[in-house]
Amino acid sequence: MAEALELSGNIVTIPVKDKANGWEPSLEETYPLIYDGVMTALKHACHATPVGIKPPYNFSMELCEGFIFDTSTDISWKGTVGTTQAEWMAPSVEIGLEIFGYVRTLLRKHQ
């Protein structure tokens, strides 16, 4: 949650576990937490401050140690894929996330 809040103070977080304090509820306990959190967020959505970003949208993904991108695949898009980092531009957030899904298919465990 801290990382998400660092990116934007305009989000709502719904804590469902806290490993540092040993709080890991069961699935039965987690569902009402998420449901109540989402319903509260929707109830207060009219008071939310929109994020002021405009197209084109820049995306990037940097891999953790132990993983690489398969760079043997030729991609026709506005972006680049290196061994451990990918960057791309998209005209909408939806298209950017669609490309994100495609980029994820290039992930490989490093031998």
Is pTM beyond 0.85? Reply is no
Predicted confidence at residue 61, as pLDDT, reads 94
Domain residue spans of the chain: 2-47, 57-109
Tell me the average confidence (pLDDT) per consecutive run of 10 residues in the chain, 111 residues long: 73 83 90 93 85 89 94 80 94 93 92 80
Predicted confidence at residue 9, as pLDDT, reads 72
Q: Compute how many other C-beta atoms are within 10 angstroms of the C-beta atom of residue 78.
A: 13
Distance CA 86, CA 68 (A): 10
Q: Compute how many other C-beta atoms are within 10 angstroms of the C-beta atom of residue 13.
A: 11
- Give the start-end residues of each E strand in the chain: 57-62, 67-69, 79-81, 85-90, 107-109
Burial class of residue 1, CB neighbours in 10 A (0-12, 13-18, 19+) = exposed
Q: Bridge-partner residues for 62, per DSSP?
A: 85
Predicted confidence at residue 1, as pLDDT, reads 67
